[in-house]
Every structure is written in C-alpha cells, then in structure tokens.
Structure 1
C-alpha cells in the first residue's frame, strides 16, 4: 500500500457505523492482507491466520471511533472491544474467507480472540480461523479467496509475502508454494461497480469478481 495515497473514510463493515458522508463508487475502503496457514505434525492444514492492515484514513477513523464508543480503561482495551465486535459481525459473511479443495467448500469457524493494534500509524487486525476439516495440501491443492461480497472493501494480498504456510514448529514450510491469480473482471462489471453510490443496493456476491485467488500446493 502506498501510504501517501488519501482514501475516503467510509463504512468498512455495514454492521458497525454509518458515516455522514455519501461517497461515490465501489470500493470505499482498502485492506492489505497477509495469510498464514498452519500445518500440524501430520502435514495437514488446520488453521488460517488473517492479518489485515487498514488504509490510513479509515484505520484512523476506526481507532477514533473505538476510543469514543468502546468500553475499557485503556486505548488498547477499547481497540480489543472493537476487534471482538468486528469478528462477531464477520460471522455472517464467513469472515470474508472462501476455501475449496477439488471444488468442495471447506467449513471454517473463528478460533480464539482477535487482536487489534495501531502500529506505525496504521491499524492492524489479526484473527484466526479453524478449518472444520483439516486439509492435506500434498494430496490436493487448497484454493481460497478473501473478499467482501458487497465490494464496499477491496482486499488485496500484501506483496511480496501475502501468503505463507508454517509447520508445526512455526517455521515457514519450504515444501509449500502459493500461487496468486489476479482478478480479471469484465469491463462491464467494473463499470457497474464504479457507478454504485454508497448505500446503493448491491448484488450480494459482487466482490467475488474482484477477488484474488490463491492456490496452495505442498510436496
């Protein structure tokens, strides 16, 4: 992310708060994404760790809103309240995460408490998901996408290490590779998104046309 870019401050999660400004076109907020998959001692992927970095303007808005409206005795406690609220709200959207093996969807669930902190002037959000059925990526590739279905938010992997796989000891697994495929939406779909006003009715799965796809393979 270029930190010198100025982004409009708007709603990132519809279940949170509404800003008093109507902004034209989708998307309205941006997230840099890093994903870590965890393999157990048997080589199966069991967990997916999300690390989000919000764009500067919206991240500051969320921070200020948390300090004003969340309970807690410290700024850190109030941020933690916001993190918990966001994670709960994302349940309805499957935490923006869509995993498949050989075309079959993999069910997921939140695992443990999320974390949120302001680091180097940018708001960071981390949370962990558990795969309800562990996956052996040496037997079949694991594919995933992370996207906001309404495309209010654009979520793109942070370069150059947007995805990694760690083994049971927490070290990067050199036997695995992640291949990222950039989206190539139809120009008509791009024009449709650009024409949408904030608050306009949106097809629920609009965001999938703008989502990056990552394929994981392990030896």
Structure 2
C-alpha cells in the first residue's frame, strides 16, 4: 500500500472495528499539546505538535505498525508509521490552520516526526515551520487544529494545551494564550451525530467543532 493511502486506510479499518453505537462522528480522539518557538528576535518560527491518541485508536495504530511497517524493532516500525502519517497529512495542512488578521500563514513539515508508546498510550510528535515568521507582539496569531472530516476530534490537553517558548527553550512569560471552545449550532451537532461510516461528509465539517487559540505577547 502506498504512503498516500495508508493513513486513510487505517481510519477506514478503525471505523469498522468500532461498535455500531459509536459510528456517529467522531470515531477517534486526540489530546493535543502545542508549543510555539520564538527566535532571538521574538518572531514565532515553528509550531510543535504533540498528539496523544485515545487508548483504542492508539493501540490499533500500534498493532498495525508492528504488522505492516518495516524495521527490526518495535520502535523502528513506529517511526515508519510516523513518517507515513506526516507525509499523508501534507494534503490536509497537518490539520493546522494559522492566521494573522485575515491572512493565512503557510506551513511546512520541518523535522523527523517521532512516535512512541508511553504508559500504554500512543504519542505522536512533529514540528512545522512557519513560511512567514510572525511577531506576536505586533499582531496576535490565531490557530485551529482539526480533522476537516471530523472523523477524529482533536482537543487541547489541559492544563498545558499551548505554550510559547523563547530562543533558549524556556516558557515565555511575556505571552498570553486564550483558548475558545467551539459552540457549534445544535443542527450541526445533530448532523455529525447522524453520520455513520460511509456517509457523505462535508470536507470542512471539522471546523465547526474546532477550538480557536489566540497568542499575544508583550
């Protein structure tokens, strides 16, 4: 199976394993943590993702990697899956949507991803580079992270869902983070709950259920 097809195929197989009562969207869940890096001039240059998969979905991904990925060790096989997922997410902008005012910020994968099973939960980490660095002291940076099909629900992990680190790697105390929970229209919620696997889904359904985060620094 090609890299461009393996991640959607994993989602399909996972949906088929879930009980019928769980067939409404979403089918899987991710706890999200994000770190933004500021360089020596104060510009935000990189966005680091840390995903923690729910136990059922994470175990399925782990088992699939051990069965189908090349490598001499479990860790090597997980790394193969991590690279394929990162490549496949390119088409979906790594589920990440950044903007300053009304201007979208381009992003690109910046480093080798990492995947590991930690305390029985699967963790996936990857780093994105902002194509245009942003000075959050001049204008706030806003972002959302969501699966457009809403197959996966992605919510920030509390209490440290988002942080900004300076050039030395320390948390930047001059910055503030505001997270706004989604408030989807009840009709949209009912629509998502009525969808089972195989139903036609609006490509951007997930944005109605996405958290919005605003970063501002003094």
Q: Structures share a fold, TM > 0.5?
A: yes
* In 1, Cα distance between equivalents of 2:15 and 2:88: 6
Indicate the residue corresponding to 1:217 in structure 2.
216
**RMSD over equivalenced CA pairs, Å:** 5.9
State the Cα distance separating 1:103 from its structure 2 match: 1.1
Structure 2 unaligned residues grouped into runs of 5+: none
Residue 154 of structure 1 and its aligned partner are, at CA, apart by 0.2
Displacement of 1:199:
1.8
Aligned-residue offset at 1:23? 5.0
- Ranges in structure 1 where 5+ consecutive residues have no aligned partner: none
Given that 2:59 and 2:122 are in contact with CA atoms closer than 8 Å, whether structure 1 keeps it comes out as yes
- Asked whether the equivalents of residues 3 and 87 of structure 2 are also in contact (C-alpha less than 8 Å), the reply is no
The superposition leaves residues 106-158 of structure 1 with CA deviations (integer Å, 9 ceiling, x where unpaired) of 00000011000000100000000000000000000000000000000000000
- Aligned residue pair count: 218
For the 8 Å contact 1:147–1:155, the answer to whether it is kept is yes
What TM-score do you get using the length of structure 1 for normalisation? Answer: 0.91
Q: Cα distance 1:8–1:205, how it changes in 2: closer, same or farther (>3 A)? A: closer
Shift of 1:24: 1.8
- Stretches (4+) displaced over 6 A: 1-10, 12-16, 18-22
CA deviations 1:169-199 (Å, max 9, x no partner) are 0000000011000000000000000000112
How far apart are the structure 1 equivalents of 2:114 and 2:208?
Answer: 29
Aligned to 1:94: 93
- Separation of aligned partners in 2, 1:40 and 1:179: 22
Q: 1:173 to 1:47 in 2, by over 3 A?
A: same
CA spacing shift, 1:106–1:2, aligned 2, 3 Å: closer
Equivalent residues in 2 for 1:135-214, closer than 5 Å: 135-214=134-213
SS in 1 for 2:78: helix
Q: Given the two structures, how large is their TM-score scaled by the length of structure 2? A: 0.92
